Structure 1
Amino acid sequence: MSNELHGRVALITGASRGLGRDIAKRLADAGAAVALLDRKAHWSAELAEEIAQAGGRALPLGCDVSDRAALHAAFAEAAEAFGGLDVVVNNAMWTRYAPIPEIDQETVDRMLGVGIAAIVWGTQAAVAAMRPRGGGAIVNIASVSAKLGLPNAMVYCGVKAAVEGMTRSSAIELAPFNIRVNAVAPSTVATEGVRAMLDDATFEARVASTPLGRLGETADIAEAVLFLADPKRSGFVTGQSLLVDGGISIALR
């Protein structure tokens, strides 16, 4: 374990699978006590046990992040258990791709609920927990898709563009309280979920279009989150969206 976040407390939404899981493990490895929030508490409990076995401190939590009352209650539980919050990573997302004529009400409601409303509720709850401690860091997970058009991803691209806008606005509003707000914007990350969604041809096309010749790994994104969470390394950084995309956003291929 390292000590970049020793004595600090982090809460990660969507923590038990994929990208959120590795973010949580990396912050715990950096010395933070971590609250692990997922829609299924037993998933969070499994990860909490793994972190504890590695010498870390973890609290499993379960709720629907789009439910304002439930999310605020989970944040309050974490703050009470650990004495406050210093870092919040708004990572949870529910995604379905579809051609525009096939987008249905459930898809829009769930993607906006988890991808947009939950960041509003999470930011509110973070502020309540961070102000008594003199500040903190909020890291929202955006996407390179906020800047690039993708077919069959109208709602997803719109949600992630909204995340970047909310990041900038909240960074200005919360700066007087020493709460920094930034985003990490990955390109396609080679998680199990992504691999299951993409057929072989699409997967290989994503690799071929990335100048660095590979897709991102969860560890790449976790390191970027750690950078933005650590006040010693990014204490003068706020309102930014850090692209971690292997160069795909600047490539013409």
Structure 2
Amino acid sequence: MQSDRKTVLITGSGHGIGRATAKHLATRGWTVAINDLKPEFVEEAVAEISASGGIAIPVVQNVATAEGIDAAVAAVVRETGRFDGLVNNAAWVRYQAIPDIAPETVERMLAIGFSGVIWGIKAAAAAMDAERGGTIVNVASAAGFRSAPNSLVYSGIKAGVMGLTRAAAVELGPRNIRVNAVAPSAVPTEGTAKHRNAERDARRIANTPLGRLGTVDDIARAIVYLMEPESDFITGQVLSADGGIGIAIT
């Protein structure tokens, strides 16, 4: 039976930016599908949202493959009777100097962070209603605009995600499907902790006009804006949520 509530699948939403986005969308009346490879993360996120009065459904799938994202989207449709939104948030990141880049690192980062976005767009578009359309938001990065040492693969992938966003927006616009991206700067999360240190954080803060690092809620609110009707005439855009560091001369 079809629900009256909009439904959204958020990949990699067991923690970090994805989980914060799920919580914000749930408070706005969306049914949120929590996806992660780790069942315990999914269970925790679903329980937290349910305890706050929201509606969340668990989807444990490997969304780096076409088969996995197809199964995840099918699970949402089966559970709710509709599919209105996708947030391509899942990522796996390793920073390596060019001489040290390993094939297995490239393959895994591409599978999750680039190919997975393609398969997600394809599966979501196929599941969206012909009249209602839908909304897709891809999580890119400030690294897609400005790079740093040891980030060749990551920066390339995130720049590629921006290109996918624009191309999908052009092709899917006639079907009333909007496709945008959010490009965060460095945001402390469980997943980024091992790549951060106090000296690097202090340097980033000093170079950021707003004088602080972003939070998962900062990025979640940007994603929510692009998912909601307030942005109904916006598509193919990359919204920088970076405190201004991308425009500052350092």
Relative to the length of structure 2, the TM-score reads 0.96
Q: Secondary structure at the match of 1:107?
A: helix
Distance 2:131 2:95 in 1: 40
- Picking from 166, 169, 172, the partner of 1:171 is 169
Decide whether the 8 Å contact of 2:63 with 2:72 is kept in 1: no
- Picking from 89, 92, 97, the partner of 2:90 is 92
Matched to 1:170, the amino acid is: A
Tell me what 1:79 maps to.
77
Distance 2:131 2:52 in 1: 27
Q: Secondary structure at the match of 1:189?
A: coil
- Picking from 147, 150, 155, the partner of 1:149 is 147
Residue by residue, what CA displacement relative to the aligned partner does 1:2-55 show, whole Å, maximum 9, x if unpaired?
Answer: xxxx82111100001111110111111111001111112331122111111111
Matching of residues 20-99 of structure 1 within 5 Å: 20-99=18-97
Tell me what 1:249 maps to.
246
Query: How many equivalent residue pairs?
Result: 247
Distance 1:217 1:55 in 2: 23
Distance 2:208 2:173 in 1: 35
Residue by residue, what CA displacement relative to the aligned partner does 1:53-89 show, whole Å, maximum 9, x if unpaired?
Answer: 1111111111111121121011101111111111110
Residue by residue, what CA displacement relative to the aligned partner does 1:110-155 show, whole Å, maximum 9, x if unpaired?
Answer: 1000000110111111011113452010000001111102111000
- C-alpha RMSD of the superposition: 1.2
- Picking from 120, 123, 129, the partner of 1:122 is 120
Distance 2:232 2:77 in 1: 22
Tell me what 2:198 maps to.
200
Moved more, 35-44 or 141-150: 35-44
Decide whether the 8 Å contact of 1:84 with 1:133 is kept in 2: no
Q: Which structure 2 residue ranges, 5 or more long, are not aligned?
A: none
Q: 1:240 deviation in Å?
A: 0.1
- Picking from 219, 232, 236, the partner of 1:239 is 236
Relative to the length of structure 1, the TM-score reads 0.95
Matched to 2:242, the amino acid is: D
- Picking from 8, 22, 27, the partner of 1:10 is 8
Distance 1:133 1:25 in 2: 27
Distance 1:227 1:235 in 2: 10
